[in-house]
Amino acid sequence: MYERKTNEAPRRRGRPSKYKKEMIEQVFELSLLGLTNQAIADFFGITLTVYDSWMVYNEEFADARNRGRDAADAKVARSLYKKALGFSYDETYEQYNADGELIRTEITHKTVVPDTQACLKWLALRQRDKWADVSKSEHTVRYSGEVDLNVVSEQLRNRDEYTDEDLDLALKIGLQGLEFPVHGQKN
């Protein structure tokens, strides 16, 4: 029987791995850009199955991917939060003459109003049980006493597009002065 010498490394079966330590930083950067697992595997020239095995057997590789994803997700969450609340910024315009000398600088203070869709998305993600189906509203009104027409009309006024049910409801409750675009078309 063959005995391996103690100072010899065990032989591996199959092809040599394409995995290199330098890929740890690359997977971090690619994850930071928001690439999917398939896109990262394609970048490295490997199959998704091989990529998944690298994630299992190379802790540093998996950790770098997770750190990149977490950082990208946090950046998007900050942007969504900022857009949901609205924000202000200064925009600088500089005008130069033909010689390249600055002849005028204009600073304009701009305000971005809060975005309703960003608010709804943020709430749907953070308080799923309360806000997950906010965009899937019910269009039928069942009369069971008093109906607050102000609430219904405000909901209809804040829509970007209207279904046939929305238009019927608006006619039933007597909303006047609204311009309803054709179903499926935006203003």
> Are the C-beta atoms of 94 and 105 separated by less than 8 Å?
yes
* 104 alpha carbon, distance to own chain's centre: 39
> Are the C-beta atoms of 31 and 40 separated by less than 8 Å?
yes
Most confident of the ranges 63-72, 73-82, 151-160, 176-185: 63-72
187 band by pLDDT with thresholds 50, 70 and 90: very low
> Are the C-beta atoms of 86 and 114 separated by less than 8 Å?
yes
Burial class for 69, CB neighbours closer than 10 Å (0-12, 13-18, 19+): middle
pLDDT tens per residue across span 132-184: 765 454 444 444 444 455 665 666 566 656 566 666 665 655 554 545 444 44
* 88 alpha carbon, distance to own chain's centre: 22
Q: Nearest CA to 123 among 108, 133, 111?
A: 133
User: In angstroms, rounded to a whole number, what is the distance separating the alpha carbons of residues 74 and 125?
Assistant: 13
Cα angle for residues 133, 117, 67 (degrees, 5° grid): 90
pLDDT tens per residue across span 22-44: 999 999 999 999 899 999 999 99
**Which residue's entry shows tokens 């900022």?**
82
